[in-house]
Structure 1
Amino acid sequence: MTAERLEDVRVLAFDVFGTVVDWCSSIAQEIEQLNPEIDGRTFARAWRAGYQPAMQRVRAGELPWTLIDDLHRMILDDILMEFGMSELDESQKRHLNQAWHRLQAWPDSAQGIARLKARYITTTLSNGNINLLVNMAKAAGLNWDCVLSAEVFHAYKPDPATYLGVARIFDVRPDQVMLVAAHQDDLDAARQCGLLTAYIERPTEFGADMPKDVSPHPANTLHASSITALADTLLT
Protein backbone atom coordinates (compact mmCIF):
# COMPACT_ATOMS: atom_id res chain seq x y z
CA MET A 1 0.00 0.00 0.00
CA THR A 2 1.47 3.31 -1.08
CA ALA A 3 1.64 6.23 1.34
CA GLU A 4 -0.27 8.29 -1.22
CA ARG A 5 -3.35 6.05 -0.97
CA LEU A 6 -3.25 6.15 2.83
CA GLU A 7 -2.97 9.93 2.69
CA ASP A 8 -6.29 10.00 0.80
CA VAL A 9 -8.23 8.23 3.57
CA ARG A 10 -10.85 10.48 5.13
CA VAL A 11 -13.20 8.08 6.92
CA LEU A 12 -12.53 5.15 9.24
CA ALA A 13 -15.62 2.93 9.42
CA PHE A 14 -15.52 0.45 12.29
CA ASP A 15 -17.15 -2.90 12.62
CA VAL A 16 -18.24 -3.03 16.26
CA PHE A 17 -19.14 -6.48 17.62
CA GLY A 18 -15.84 -8.23 18.29
CA THR A 19 -13.72 -5.43 16.81
CA VAL A 20 -14.47 -2.60 19.23
CA VAL A 21 -16.35 -4.42 21.99
CA ASP A 22 -15.85 -7.78 23.70
CA TRP A 23 -19.26 -9.39 23.21
CA CYS A 24 -18.31 -12.84 24.50
CA SER A 25 -16.99 -11.85 27.93
CA SER A 26 -19.66 -9.18 28.35
CA ILE A 27 -22.57 -11.54 27.64
CA ALA A 28 -20.97 -14.34 29.67
CA GLN A 29 -20.73 -12.09 32.70
CA GLU A 30 -24.41 -11.14 32.52
CA ILE A 31 -25.51 -14.75 32.10
CA GLU A 32 -23.44 -15.99 35.02
CA GLN A 33 -24.89 -13.25 37.22
CA LEU A 34 -28.35 -14.52 36.34
CA ASN A 35 -27.49 -18.20 36.72
CA PRO A 36 -24.04 -19.16 38.09
CA GLU A 37 -24.60 -22.76 36.99
CA ILE A 38 -24.57 -21.79 33.31
CA ASP A 39 -21.26 -21.55 31.41
CA GLY A 40 -21.56 -17.96 30.28
CA ARG A 41 -19.14 -18.21 27.37
CA THR A 42 -20.97 -21.21 25.95
CA PHE A 43 -24.26 -19.30 26.21
CA ALA A 44 -22.74 -16.19 24.60
CA ARG A 45 -21.36 -18.21 21.69
CA ALA A 46 -24.70 -19.95 21.18
CA TRP A 47 -26.48 -16.59 21.09
CA ARG A 48 -23.97 -15.18 18.65
CA ALA A 49 -24.18 -18.30 16.47
CA GLY A 50 -27.77 -17.40 15.64
CA TYR A 51 -26.78 -13.96 14.38
CA GLN A 52 -25.85 -14.72 10.77
CA PRO A 53 -28.71 -17.20 10.15
CA ALA A 54 -31.21 -14.65 11.49
CA MET A 55 -29.86 -11.90 9.23
CA GLN A 56 -29.92 -14.30 6.30
CA ARG A 57 -33.66 -14.73 6.78
CA VAL A 58 -33.98 -10.96 6.28
CA ARG A 59 -31.63 -10.94 3.28
CA ALA A 60 -33.58 -13.77 1.67
CA GLY A 61 -36.91 -12.00 2.16
CA GLU A 62 -38.20 -14.63 4.57
CA LEU A 63 -38.52 -11.86 7.15
CA PRO A 64 -39.23 -8.17 6.47
CA TRP A 65 -36.60 -5.63 7.53
CA THR A 66 -35.96 -6.48 11.19
CA LEU A 67 -33.71 -4.69 13.67
CA ILE A 68 -30.87 -6.62 15.31
CA ASP A 69 -32.50 -6.04 18.71
CA ASP A 70 -35.51 -7.99 17.49
CA LEU A 71 -33.40 -10.70 15.85
CA HIS A 72 -31.41 -11.03 19.08
CA ARG A 73 -34.66 -11.54 20.96
CA MET A 74 -35.82 -14.24 18.56
CA ILE A 75 -32.55 -16.10 19.05
CA LEU A 76 -32.66 -15.57 22.82
CA ASP A 77 -36.12 -17.07 23.16
CA ASP A 78 -34.84 -20.25 21.50
CA ILE A 79 -31.61 -20.64 23.45
CA LEU A 80 -33.16 -19.90 26.85
CA MET A 81 -35.02 -23.17 26.45
CA GLU A 82 -31.84 -24.99 25.43
CA PHE A 83 -30.03 -23.77 28.55
CA GLY A 84 -32.90 -24.41 30.93
CA MET A 85 -33.59 -20.73 31.59
CA SER A 86 -37.10 -20.46 30.18
CA GLU A 87 -38.41 -19.52 33.65
CA LEU A 88 -37.23 -15.92 33.17
CA ASP A 89 -40.15 -13.49 33.13
CA GLU A 90 -40.71 -10.97 30.36
CA SER A 91 -38.95 -8.10 32.15
CA GLN A 92 -35.90 -10.29 32.76
CA LYS A 93 -35.84 -11.37 29.12
CA ARG A 94 -36.08 -7.78 27.94
CA HIS A 95 -33.26 -6.75 30.26
CA LEU A 96 -31.09 -9.65 29.13
CA ASN A 97 -31.71 -8.86 25.48
CA GLN A 98 -30.46 -5.34 26.17
CA ALA A 99 -27.12 -6.82 27.28
CA TRP A 100 -25.92 -6.12 23.74
CA HIS A 101 -26.39 -2.41 24.52
CA ARG A 102 -24.05 -2.77 27.51
CA LEU A 103 -21.11 -4.57 25.91
CA GLN A 104 -17.72 -3.64 27.32
CA ALA A 105 -15.08 -2.20 25.01
CA TRP A 106 -11.71 -3.81 24.52
CA PRO A 107 -9.15 -1.92 26.65
CA ASP A 108 -7.58 -0.15 23.65
CA SER A 109 -10.79 0.87 21.86
CA ALA A 110 -11.80 4.18 23.44
CA GLN A 111 -8.26 5.57 23.48
CA GLY A 112 -7.53 4.43 19.95
CA ILE A 113 -10.73 5.93 18.54
CA ALA A 114 -10.14 9.20 20.39
CA ARG A 115 -6.67 9.48 18.87
CA LEU A 116 -7.88 8.65 15.36
CA LYS A 117 -10.62 11.29 15.56
CA ALA A 118 -7.93 13.94 15.46
CA ARG A 119 -7.33 13.21 11.76
CA TYR A 120 -10.22 11.08 10.51
CA ILE A 121 -13.99 10.90 10.59
CA THR A 122 -14.70 7.92 12.83
CA THR A 123 -17.99 6.11 12.39
CA THR A 124 -19.51 2.78 13.20
CA LEU A 125 -20.54 0.52 10.33
CA SER A 126 -22.36 -2.20 12.21
CA ASN A 127 -25.28 -4.51 11.71
CA GLY A 128 -26.41 -3.39 15.15
CA ASN A 129 -29.31 -0.95 15.18
CA ILE A 130 -28.84 2.74 16.01
CA ASN A 131 -30.41 2.63 19.48
CA LEU A 132 -28.16 -0.30 20.41
CA LEU A 133 -25.01 1.40 19.09
CA VAL A 134 -25.72 4.74 20.78
CA ASN A 135 -26.44 3.09 24.13
CA MET A 136 -23.30 1.00 23.76
CA ALA A 137 -21.21 4.07 22.97
CA LYS A 138 -22.52 5.80 26.09
CA ALA A 139 -21.86 2.78 28.28
CA ALA A 140 -18.40 2.01 26.88
CA GLY A 141 -17.12 5.57 26.49
CA LEU A 142 -16.84 5.40 22.70
CA ASN A 143 -16.81 8.91 21.29
CA TRP A 144 -17.76 8.42 17.63
CA ASP A 145 -18.13 11.23 15.12
CA CYS A 146 -21.09 9.37 13.63
CA VAL A 147 -23.14 6.23 14.21
CA LEU A 148 -23.96 4.39 10.99
CA SER A 149 -25.89 1.16 11.06
CA ALA A 150 -27.38 -1.36 8.68
CA GLU A 151 -30.62 0.25 9.83
CA VAL A 152 -29.70 3.38 7.82
CA PHE A 153 -29.36 1.39 4.61
CA HIS A 154 -31.97 -1.32 5.31
CA ALA A 155 -29.28 -3.80 4.33
CA TYR A 156 -27.05 -6.02 6.42
CA LYS A 157 -23.37 -6.42 5.76
CA PRO A 158 -21.94 -7.76 3.49
CA ASP A 159 -24.45 -6.06 1.20
CA PRO A 160 -22.51 -3.51 -0.91
CA ALA A 161 -25.12 -0.88 0.02
CA THR A 162 -23.58 -0.70 3.49
CA TYR A 163 -19.96 -0.11 2.46
CA LEU A 164 -20.78 2.17 -0.48
CA GLY A 165 -23.32 3.94 1.72
CA VAL A 166 -20.55 5.23 3.96
CA ALA A 167 -18.80 6.82 0.99
CA ARG A 168 -22.07 8.30 -0.24
CA ILE A 169 -23.01 9.79 3.13
CA PHE A 170 -19.62 11.46 3.58
CA ASP A 171 -19.30 12.43 -0.11
CA VAL A 172 -15.98 10.67 -0.63
CA ARG A 173 -14.70 8.00 -2.97
CA PRO A 174 -14.87 4.39 -1.73
CA ASP A 175 -11.06 4.28 -1.57
CA GLN A 176 -11.16 7.23 0.83
CA VAL A 177 -12.94 4.98 3.34
CA MET A 178 -11.11 2.37 5.39
CA LEU A 179 -13.07 -0.42 7.04
CA VAL A 180 -11.60 -1.42 10.40
CA ALA A 181 -12.65 -4.91 11.46
CA ALA A 182 -11.59 -8.11 13.18
CA HIS A 183 -13.41 -10.29 10.62
CA GLN A 184 -11.82 -11.19 7.31
CA ASP A 185 -15.13 -11.82 5.52
CA ASP A 186 -16.25 -8.26 6.36
CA LEU A 187 -12.97 -6.84 5.10
CA ASP A 188 -13.11 -8.93 1.92
CA ALA A 189 -16.60 -7.63 1.11
CA ALA A 190 -15.54 -4.04 1.77
CA ARG A 191 -12.49 -4.44 -0.47
CA GLN A 192 -14.69 -5.68 -3.30
CA CYS A 193 -16.52 -2.35 -3.04
CA GLY A 194 -13.27 -0.40 -3.34
CA LEU A 195 -12.68 0.39 0.34
CA LEU A 196 -9.30 0.10 2.02
CA THR A 197 -9.12 -2.37 4.90
CA ALA A 198 -7.48 -2.64 8.32
CA TYR A 199 -7.54 -5.91 10.24
CA ILE A 200 -7.54 -5.70 14.05
CA GLU A 201 -6.37 -8.74 16.00
CA ARG A 202 -8.91 -9.99 18.54
CA PRO A 203 -7.66 -13.51 19.28
CA THR A 204 -9.99 -13.96 22.27
CA GLU A 205 -13.17 -12.68 20.58
CA PHE A 206 -14.86 -16.04 21.21
CA GLY A 207 -13.32 -16.43 24.65
CA ALA A 208 -9.85 -17.27 25.92
CA ASP A 209 -10.74 -20.96 25.67
CA MET A 210 -11.41 -20.66 21.93
CA PRO A 211 -8.61 -18.54 20.41
CA LYS A 212 -8.95 -17.64 16.75
CA ASP A 213 -6.32 -17.31 14.05
CA VAL A 214 -5.32 -13.67 13.61
CA SER A 215 -2.57 -14.17 11.04
CA PRO A 216 -2.04 -11.30 8.59
CA HIS A 217 -3.92 -11.52 5.30
CA PRO A 218 -1.95 -10.15 2.35
CA ALA A 219 -5.01 -8.51 0.76
CA ASN A 220 -5.58 -6.14 3.68
CA THR A 221 -4.23 -2.61 3.50
CA LEU A 222 -3.10 -2.68 7.14
CA HIS A 223 -2.85 -5.21 9.97
CA ALA A 224 -2.71 -4.08 13.60
CA SER A 225 -2.66 -5.77 16.98
CA SER A 226 -5.12 -3.23 18.40
CA ILE A 227 -6.89 0.03 17.59
CA THR A 228 -4.17 1.97 19.42
CA ALA A 229 -1.60 0.18 17.26
CA LEU A 230 -3.59 1.21 14.20
CA ALA A 231 -3.47 4.80 15.46
CA ASP A 232 0.31 4.49 15.86
CA THR A 233 0.56 3.48 12.20
CA LEU A 234 -1.86 6.01 10.72
CA LEU A 235 -0.82 9.00 12.80
CA THR A 236 2.93 8.76 12.22
Structure 2
Amino acid sequence: MLLVIPDVLDPQALSEARERLGRADWRDGRETAGYAAAGRKTNEQLRADDAVAAALGQRILDALSRDARFVSFVLPQKILSPMFNRYRGGGEYGFHIDNAIRVDPLTGQRIRADVSTTVFLNGPDEYEGGELLIEGTYGAEALKLPAGHAVAYPGSSLHRVAPVTRGERLASFFWTQSMVGDDAQRALLYELDTAIQALARRPENADEVVRLTGVYHNLVRRWAQT
Protein backbone atom coordinates (compact mmCIF):
# COMPACT_ATOMS: atom_id res chain seq x y z
CA MET A 1 0.00 0.00 0.00
CA LEU A 2 1.25 3.47 -0.84
CA LEU A 3 0.05 6.99 -0.12
CA VAL A 4 0.38 10.02 -2.40
CA ILE A 5 0.49 13.29 -0.45
CA PRO A 6 -0.12 16.39 -2.59
CA ASP A 7 1.41 19.82 -2.03
CA VAL A 8 3.89 19.02 0.71
CA LEU A 9 5.82 22.07 -0.50
CA ASP A 10 4.12 25.16 -1.94
CA PRO A 11 5.36 26.93 -5.12
CA GLN A 12 7.44 29.47 -3.20
CA ALA A 13 9.19 26.79 -1.15
CA LEU A 14 9.81 24.78 -4.32
CA SER A 15 11.28 27.79 -6.10
CA GLU A 16 13.65 28.45 -3.21
CA ALA A 17 14.62 24.77 -3.05
CA ARG A 18 15.32 24.61 -6.77
CA GLU A 19 17.48 27.72 -6.62
CA ARG A 20 19.56 26.37 -3.74
CA LEU A 21 19.87 22.90 -5.26
CA GLY A 22 21.12 24.45 -8.50
CA ARG A 23 24.16 25.78 -6.63
CA ALA A 24 24.70 22.75 -4.40
CA ASP A 25 27.73 20.45 -4.29
CA TRP A 26 26.49 17.20 -5.87
CA ARG A 27 28.41 13.94 -5.33
CA ASP A 28 28.34 10.43 -6.83
CA GLY A 29 25.25 8.71 -5.44
CA ARG A 30 26.98 5.34 -5.26
CA GLU A 31 28.75 6.53 -2.11
CA THR A 32 25.60 5.75 -0.09
CA ALA A 33 24.49 2.57 -1.89
CA GLY A 34 24.79 -0.87 -0.30
CA TYR A 35 27.13 -3.38 -1.92
CA ALA A 36 24.30 -5.12 -3.78
CA ALA A 37 22.80 -1.90 -5.15
CA ALA A 38 25.91 0.13 -6.01
CA GLY A 39 26.19 -1.37 -9.50
CA ARG A 40 22.56 -0.46 -10.26
CA LYS A 41 22.77 3.17 -9.21
CA THR A 42 23.88 6.09 -11.42
CA ASN A 43 22.78 9.36 -9.88
CA GLU A 44 24.08 12.26 -7.81
CA GLN A 45 23.35 13.10 -4.18
CA LEU A 46 24.08 15.79 -1.65
CA ARG A 47 26.17 14.88 1.34
CA ALA A 48 24.09 14.40 4.46
CA ASP A 49 25.98 17.20 6.25
CA ASP A 50 25.48 19.65 3.37
CA ALA A 51 23.92 22.88 4.68
CA VAL A 52 21.43 22.96 1.79
CA ALA A 53 20.30 19.40 2.50
CA ALA A 54 19.89 20.12 6.21
CA ALA A 55 17.79 23.25 5.68
CA LEU A 56 15.55 21.86 2.95
CA GLY A 57 15.20 18.53 4.73
CA GLN A 58 13.96 20.21 7.88
CA ARG A 59 11.44 22.18 5.85
CA ILE A 60 10.07 18.95 4.38
CA LEU A 61 9.85 17.26 7.78
CA ASP A 62 8.10 20.26 9.29
CA ALA A 63 5.50 20.18 6.50
CA LEU A 64 4.88 16.44 6.78
CA SER A 65 4.62 16.55 10.57
CA ARG A 66 1.59 18.80 10.09
CA ASP A 67 0.00 16.50 7.52
CA ALA A 68 -2.57 14.23 9.17
CA ARG A 69 -2.50 11.77 6.25
CA PHE A 70 1.24 11.21 6.55
CA VAL A 71 1.10 10.80 10.33
CA SER A 72 -1.82 8.35 10.10
CA PHE A 73 -0.22 6.32 7.31
CA VAL A 74 3.31 6.16 8.74
CA LEU A 75 2.79 6.43 12.53
CA PRO A 76 6.33 7.79 12.78
CA GLN A 77 8.64 7.01 15.66
CA LYS A 78 12.05 7.97 14.23
CA ILE A 79 12.83 9.72 10.93
CA LEU A 80 16.13 9.64 9.10
CA SER A 81 17.46 13.02 8.00
CA PRO A 82 16.15 13.65 4.43
CA MET A 83 18.57 13.25 1.56
CA PHE A 84 18.50 14.69 -1.97
CA ASN A 85 19.26 13.16 -5.35
CA ARG A 86 19.51 14.20 -8.98
CA TYR A 87 19.14 12.02 -12.07
CA ARG A 88 20.18 13.17 -15.56
CA GLY A 89 22.01 11.97 -18.68
CA GLY A 90 20.54 8.46 -18.51
CA GLY A 91 20.94 8.16 -14.74
CA GLU A 92 18.83 5.47 -13.11
CA TYR A 93 18.55 3.19 -10.10
CA GLY A 94 17.73 -0.43 -10.93
CA PHE A 95 15.33 -2.60 -8.96
CA HIS A 96 16.38 -2.93 -5.33
CA ILE A 97 15.03 -3.15 -1.79
CA ASP A 98 16.24 -0.56 0.70
CA ASN A 99 18.46 -1.68 3.58
CA ALA A 100 16.39 -2.66 6.60
CA ILE A 101 18.58 -0.70 9.04
CA ARG A 102 19.89 2.77 8.24
CA VAL A 103 22.30 4.87 10.29
CA ASP A 104 21.59 8.58 10.35
CA PRO A 105 24.89 10.15 9.28
CA LEU A 106 24.15 13.30 11.28
CA THR A 107 23.13 11.73 14.60
CA GLY A 108 24.53 8.20 14.42
CA GLN A 109 21.09 6.89 15.39
CA ARG A 110 20.05 3.51 13.98
CA ILE A 111 16.65 3.49 12.30
CA ARG A 112 14.62 0.55 11.00
CA ALA A 113 13.48 1.58 7.51
CA ASP A 114 9.78 0.67 7.67
CA VAL A 115 8.49 3.37 5.32
CA SER A 116 10.22 5.05 2.38
CA THR A 117 9.19 8.55 1.29
CA THR A 118 10.06 10.41 -1.91
CA VAL A 119 9.25 14.10 -2.42
CA PHE A 120 9.33 15.22 -6.07
CA LEU A 121 10.97 18.64 -6.43
CA ASN A 122 10.43 19.39 -10.11
CA GLY A 123 7.58 18.80 -12.51
CA PRO A 124 7.10 15.73 -14.73
CA ASP A 125 7.26 17.89 -17.87
CA GLU A 126 10.84 18.92 -17.04
CA TYR A 127 12.34 15.50 -17.73
CA GLU A 128 11.68 12.31 -19.66
CA GLY A 129 11.75 8.95 -17.89
CA GLY A 130 12.53 9.01 -14.18
CA GLU A 131 9.38 7.18 -13.08
CA LEU A 132 9.48 5.67 -9.60
CA LEU A 133 8.29 2.09 -10.14
CA ILE A 134 7.11 0.29 -7.00
CA GLU A 135 6.26 -3.40 -7.12
CA GLY A 136 3.04 -4.27 -5.30
CA THR A 137 0.57 -7.10 -5.03
CA TYR A 138 -0.83 -6.43 -8.50
CA GLY A 139 2.38 -5.51 -10.31
CA ALA A 140 4.49 -2.37 -10.61
CA GLU A 141 2.96 1.08 -10.17
CA ALA A 142 4.75 3.91 -12.00
CA LEU A 143 4.77 7.31 -10.29
CA LYS A 144 5.88 10.62 -11.76
CA LEU A 145 4.26 13.18 -9.51
CA PRO A 146 3.87 16.96 -9.74
CA ALA A 147 6.48 19.12 -8.04
CA GLY A 148 5.87 19.28 -4.29
CA HIS A 149 3.97 16.00 -4.11
CA ALA A 150 5.25 13.05 -2.07
CA VAL A 151 4.69 9.32 -1.98
CA ALA A 152 5.15 7.08 1.05
CA TYR A 153 5.38 3.30 0.64
CA PRO A 154 6.69 0.25 2.53
CA GLY A 155 10.46 0.11 2.77
CA SER A 156 10.21 -3.62 2.04
CA SER A 157 8.99 -2.89 -1.52
CA LEU A 158 11.03 -3.75 -4.60
CA HIS A 159 11.38 -0.50 -6.53
CA ARG A 160 13.45 1.38 -9.11
CA VAL A 161 13.92 4.77 -10.78
CA ALA A 162 13.70 4.55 -14.59
CA PRO A 163 16.46 6.18 -16.69
CA VAL A 164 16.17 9.94 -17.13
CA THR A 165 16.77 10.54 -20.83
CA ARG A 166 16.08 14.30 -20.99
CA GLY A 167 16.36 17.07 -18.42
CA GLU A 168 16.94 16.28 -14.77
CA ARG A 169 14.86 14.79 -11.97
CA LEU A 170 15.23 16.30 -8.48
CA ALA A 171 13.85 14.65 -5.36
CA SER A 172 14.24 14.27 -1.64
CA PHE A 173 13.99 10.88 0.03
CA PHE A 174 14.12 9.51 3.54
CA TRP A 175 13.08 6.59 5.72
CA THR A 176 10.90 6.36 8.80
CA GLN A 177 10.79 3.84 11.61
CA SER A 178 7.12 3.39 12.42
CA MET A 179 5.65 2.61 15.82
CA VAL A 180 3.95 -0.29 13.98
CA GLY A 181 6.61 -2.19 12.07
CA ASP A 182 4.34 -4.63 10.26
CA ASP A 183 3.22 -3.32 6.84
CA ALA A 184 -0.14 -5.13 6.90
CA GLN A 185 -1.01 -3.98 10.40
CA ARG A 186 -0.07 -0.41 9.55
CA ALA A 187 -2.25 -0.52 6.42
CA LEU A 188 -5.24 -1.80 8.42
CA LEU A 189 -4.83 0.99 10.95
CA TYR A 190 -4.70 3.60 8.21
CA GLU A 191 -7.84 2.24 6.53
CA LEU A 192 -9.66 2.18 9.87
CA ASP A 193 -8.58 5.71 10.76
CA THR A 194 -9.65 6.99 7.34
CA ALA A 195 -13.08 5.37 7.72
CA ILE A 196 -13.51 6.83 11.20
CA GLN A 197 -12.69 10.32 9.92
CA ALA A 198 -15.29 9.93 7.15
CA LEU A 199 -17.98 8.76 9.60
CA ALA A 200 -17.15 11.59 12.00
CA ARG A 201 -18.35 14.16 9.44
CA ARG A 202 -21.97 13.17 10.20
CA PRO A 203 -23.23 13.98 13.72
CA GLU A 204 -25.63 11.03 13.69
CA ASN A 205 -22.61 8.67 13.68
CA ALA A 206 -21.23 9.99 16.97
CA ASP A 207 -21.77 6.82 19.00
CA GLU A 208 -20.29 4.57 16.32
CA VAL A 209 -17.31 6.90 15.95
CA VAL A 210 -16.58 6.67 19.67
CA ARG A 211 -16.69 2.87 19.59
CA LEU A 212 -14.57 2.57 16.46
CA THR A 213 -12.06 5.07 17.80
CA GLY A 214 -11.69 2.83 20.82
CA VAL A 215 -11.08 -0.17 18.56
CA TYR A 216 -8.43 1.82 16.65
CA HIS A 217 -6.53 2.84 19.78
CA ASN A 218 -6.72 -0.62 21.30
CA LEU A 219 -5.18 -2.05 18.13
CA VAL A 220 -2.43 0.57 18.32
CA ARG A 221 -1.80 -0.44 21.93
CA ARG A 222 -1.53 -4.08 20.84
CA TRP A 223 0.78 -3.51 17.87
CA ALA A 224 2.81 -0.39 18.62
CA GLN A 225 6.39 -0.46 19.88
CA THR A 226 7.63 2.72 21.52
Q: Which has the higher strand share?
A: 2
TM-score by length of 2: 0.30
Q: Which has the higher helix share?
A: 1
